[in-house]
Amino acid sequence: MRLDLHRSWVKAQATRSPQERNTRLENMCWRIWNLARQKKQLENDEAHRASKRRMEREKGRREAVADMSEDLSEGEKGDTISDVSAHGESHRGRLPRMSSVDAMEAWVNQQKGKKLYLVLISLHGLIRGENMELGRDSDTGGQVKYVVELARALASMPGVYRVDLLTRQVACPDVDWSYGEPTEMLSPRNSDGMTEEIGESSGAYIIRIPFGPKDKYIPKELLWPHIPEFVDGAIGHIIQMSKVLGEQVGGGHPVWPVAIHGHYADAGDSAARLSGALNVPMLFTGHSLGRDKLEQLLRQGRLTKEEINSTYKIMRRIEAEETSLDASEVVITSTRQEIDEQWRLYDGFDPVLEKKLRARIRRNVSCYGRFMPRMFVIPPGMEFNHIIPHEGDMDGETEGGEDHQASPDPPIWTEIMRFFTNPRKPMILALARPDPKKNLTTLVKAFGECRPLRELANLTLIMGNRDNIDEMSSTSASMLMSIIKLIDKYDLYGQVAYPKHHKQNEVPDIYRLAAKTKGVFINPAFIEPFGLTLIEAAAHGLPMVATKNGGPVDIHRVLDNGLLIDPHDQQSIADALLKLVADKQLWAKCRANGLRNIHLFSWTEHCKTYLSRIASCKPRQPGWLKNDDDDENSESDSPSDSLRDMQDISLNLKFSMDSEDRNSKLENAVLSYAKGVGKGAQKAVSVDKNEQHKFPALRRRTHIFVVAIDDDDIESLFNNVRKIFEAVDKEKSEGSIGFILATSLRMAEVHNFLVSKGVNPSDFDAFICNSGADLYYSSSHSEDNPFVFDLYYHSHIEYRWGGEGLRKTLVKWASSIIDKKAENKNEEHVVTEDEEVSTNYCYAFNIHKPELVPPVKELRKLMRIQALRCHVIYCQNGKKINVIPVSASRSQALRYLYLRWGMDLSKVVVFVGESGDTDYEGFLGGIHKSVILKGIGSSSNNQLHANRVYPLSDVTPTESPNIIQTPEACSSADIRTSLAKLSVLKS
């Protein structure tokens, strides 16, 4: 915009006609006024948002504390954290480290005998172990190097047997063939590592899971619809690897991952689903956060919120980060700033409330279902063994003697020095992609306008790789052109280098060249989440000048090897660079400090802290792995300690009923057992041994059809069920196709209707009821025992379930939604609890006036602010609300069936309407096939989805070959034709 105004001004000055000049100037004045008005509006909007968020957080915190009836101790009452972090760790002074050889040996001895399996996830970008193409695009940056090096380092630690880094398999002409290889072993950097035992499958591996378009490399913003496909593929890999490791080191029992660690929002969303499906602790690292990016982009005023969301899918990303907070045991950050200024923007984390909850946990006082993940600062690591800091300068000799001098200069040195008139001057080095937030234009301006600095030093800008500026993304191309214009404006030819290409393995040589010239490394970014390049530069003996916003503050506190600057202050940048370049004593002191303290950022230090945080996570395991004879209060030491053969586990509960008044007894029995009040529940946990291998029949089916049509009219639902039955009548009678009903309805409602319509319950192999809170199977003796209730499923999904504390909060919320215009006081309550239907794992509410109820995102937000983790679903065309555990859903129940009974997800076909409940999107992705029955759905007017956090199009893989739509008002023949197109049946 400033460039446009400048052009208008130039044109106005060049215009000869006074009238035309006045018109142009008047037009400029109006534009400037309009810009000032827009800026003021943006500032007001931002202030309003910040005020609203603060009020909501304070209200939620007050309500949460009020609900926790125990008196708070003095240590809990303080609302400030001061110098102590949100987790009670001082952030003054040095980073924690092993202080002696004895301590190190003691730590190693503690890990002996352990055989841990860890899973890391990083989905986007191009990931490989060697010759990383960092800077190729905005998705292939520092995170890629971080996760690869983390996997390598963890695999070399005592007690760790195998580390898998899961990412996307990319096999297309646009990228190198290596990204299409399913598996790549990461060779250890240090062969003298600490691993005592090397097994057949031990070590670190990159595992590439195929998902998304098979012939395209797409940016991360377009990956969201394909995440369920990745999750299904990842589960398959983990199951297979767990069996392999079980044979090698598990004594024949599968070895499950001890933790799943998601990196960035897309991997966090994936890790949350995997953690819920496998019941394994989850860790999360955001790397950069969506709410912070949204705030920055709004402050810039270049794009509206709608434009930002369209470009960056920012709302989908933010919801994924909120979901990661719901599911994570531990959140690992690189800096304190990330916790204090970025994570506190999220509904699911509040440092003050987290401190209160943690204090209660330490005192063994109930938190009434509330939970917040622990946040730990663990700076990224580096391997320094191979780095030999350069000694000497361009004129003097270096360490290493004559042999070292005889070695030729690296090719990248020649490539850089050809830009300079005097290559012997100290080099100011910046290494960043051409992105506005990296603030490289301000650096060039500071260099160009400071004559003493230009006389003393050269400037080198390593800005990724490019062949042709026109082939770069519009943002990168525009940024690079701005830098080139500034070089021309200040006549910096011979003083600024900006090579077109460099390889990742040449970056150390670039650092060495800058150190050889007694130069300085600079990171002038507006905000830097961490700043790994600052550590790399320090390891090569380069002092730093870095932004005071973000991670460099923590790095500077530890290394004390440079100066911090205000990235918005051009003069501050120039003064800091000039001070370091001109003062040789200060330069030498900063260099020495960096080299002396750099070991505190080693991967060994990082991994020791990392593994100690994993050890603090509460062990979890899939619910069906518990033995029937185990004490219900006993806990396994790890997910792999008490594994059981899935084939030999009996189901938990049968309902026996007399033929007389069967429906009523069934309803009472279901509610009794679901509520956990049946005195005979423990006695009923048994199945005839001859029968336990007969059901569920899911194991024997060639295909499984899941009916997940969300229709508020149950009769309409079963009319569509009949159509599906008729479409596959032959295969159904042969037993090759099984059926599962996935619904928001309760089992008693389903059974009553089945009986009234003459449908045999045994036509279905399983029933996913209450939006995924309950799971039933058809019994082989349908006359006497029509259903079997899977209690193991409850033990599988109960993690982080708020129980009675959550119910009370929901009831309080329901009572606050009042229709003030109601004439009858009895009708003023818009939402009421359905106590008769509610169970221990599904709190149900009736909605009497859907138009007055806040959208689902508001209720989810309210629960998160109060540290209550749950899955809120609006169903039956907005007439009901089901609140279930955060790890439960109808789509997740399918993954449970896959894990427990070996149901092949690629052989599953899900039938959905054109719209549905607010968990509808869960069925629109994955390796299963989906048939959309056009014109059918409980919310055809889309009222339920109109106020969702992000548009449904952001999560729907519309081009997937696994999804097909039937014609409007389809017949059974149309359904069969659709199945034939999906290659499920012959036409």
Q: With 0-12 CB in 10 A as exposed, 13-18 as middle and 19+ as buried, what is 94?
A: exposed
First to last CA, the chain: 60
pLDDT, residue 949, reads: 82
Residues 301 and 170 occupy one common structural domain? yes
Q: Is residue 444 one of the residues assigned to a domain?
A: yes
Give me the number of domains the chain comprises.
Answer: 2
Average pLDDT, whole number, for the chain?
82
Give the domain range for residue 249.
112-189+198-377
Residues 367 and 497 occupy one common structural domain? no
CB 502 within 8 A of CB 414: no
CB 274 within 8 A of CB 234: yes
pLDDT at 973 over 70: yes
Looking at 550, 566, 601, the residue that finishes a domain is 601
Give start and end residues of each alpha helix (H) in 391-473. Answer: 401-406, 411-417, 440-449, 451-456
Q: Give the pair of three-digit tokens for residue 710.
A: 């969300």
Looking at 377, 401, 430, the residue that finishes a domain is 377
pLDDT, residue 12, reads: 59
Q: pTM for this one?
A: 0.80
pLDDT at 556 over 80: yes
CA dihedral 550, 555, 558, 559 (to 10 degrees): -140
Average pLDDT (760-777) is 93
CA 71 to centroid of chain Cα atoms: 36
pLDDT, residue 978, reads: 94
Highest mean pLDDT among 63-67, 108-112, 494-498: 494-498
pLDDT, residue 656, reads: 34
Residues 307 and 363 occupy one common structural domain? yes
Q: Is residue 334 one of the residues assigned to a domain?
A: yes
pLDDT, residue 271, reads: 98
Nearest to 241 by CA among 309, 304, 161, 301: 161
Residues 173 and 235 occupy one common structural domain? yes
Q: Is residue 217 one of the residues assigned to a domain?
A: yes
Residues 352 and 449 occupy one common structural domain? no
pLDDT, residue 233, reads: 97
The CA–CA distances, whole Å, from 611 to 97, 108, 523, 615 equal 13, 12, 31, 6
The residue ranking higher by pLDDT, 475 or 606, is: 606
Q: Is residue 57 one of the residues assigned to a domain?
A: no
**Phi/psi at 963 (nearest 5 deg)?**
-120, 135
Q: Read off the pLDDT of residues 566-612 as tens digits, 9 standing for 90 and up.
A: 999 999 999 999 999 999 999 999 999 999 988 888 898 899 999 98
Average pLDDT (460-489) is 90
Q: Read off the pLDDT of residues 237-270 as tens digits, 9 standing for 90 and up.
A: 999 999 999 999 989 999 999 999 999 999 999 9
Residues 512 and 433 occupy one common structural domain? yes
Residues 538 and 473 occupy one common structural domain? yes
Q: Is residue 263 one of the residues assigned to a domain?
A: yes
Residues 444 and 580 occupy one common structural domain? yes
Nearest to 426 by CA among 590, 571, 564, 578: 578
pLDDT, residue 104, reads: 47
Residues 307 and 439 occupy one common structural domain? no
Residues 569 and 431 occupy one common structural domain? yes
Q: Is residue 119 one of the residues assigned to a domain?
A: yes
pLDDT, residue 559, reads: 92
Q: Read off the pLDDT of residues 631-686 as tens digits, 9 standing for 90 and up.
A: 333 333 333 332 333 233 333 333 333 333 444 554 455 455 445 433 333 333 33
Average pLDDT (11-23) is 69
pLDDT, residue 301, reads: 76
Q: List the CATH number of the domain containing 447.
A: 3.40.50.2000
The residue ranking higher by pLDDT, 952 or 807, is: 807
pLDDT at 188 over 90: no
pLDDT at 464 over 90: no
Residues 448 and 512 occupy one common structural domain? yes
Which of 184-198, 285-299, 636-650 bottoms out in mean pLDDT, i.e. has the lowest?
636-650
Looking at 554, 577, 601, the residue that finishes a domain is 601
Average pLDDT (133-160) is 91
The residue ranking higher by pLDDT, 665 or 235, is: 235
Residues 360 and 447 occupy one common structural domain? no
pLDDT at 625 over 70: no
User: Using the 8-state DSSP alphabet, how is residue 408 labeled?
Assistant: P
The residue ranking higher by pLDDT, 42 or 216, is: 216
Residues whose CB is less than 8 angstroms from the CB of residue 946 and which lie 6 or more positions away in sequence, other chains included: 855
pLDDT at 164 over 60: yes
Cα–Cα distance for residue pair 458/263, rounded to 1 Å: 37
The residue ranking higher by pLDDT, 718 or 429, is: 429
pLDDT band at 981 (very low <50, low <70, confident <90, very high): very high
pLDDT at 81 over 70: no
Highest mean pLDDT among 71-75, 95-99, 299-303, 675-679: 299-303
Q: Is residue 87 one of the residues assigned to a domain?
A: no
Q: Is residue 493 one of the residues assigned to a domain?
A: yes
Which of 34-38, 104-108, 146-150 bottoms out in mean pLDDT, i.e. has the lowest?
104-108
pLDDT at 941 over 50: no
pLDDT band at 300 (very low <50, low <70, confident <90, very high): confident
Average pLDDT (820-838) is 85
pLDDT, residue 942, reads: 52
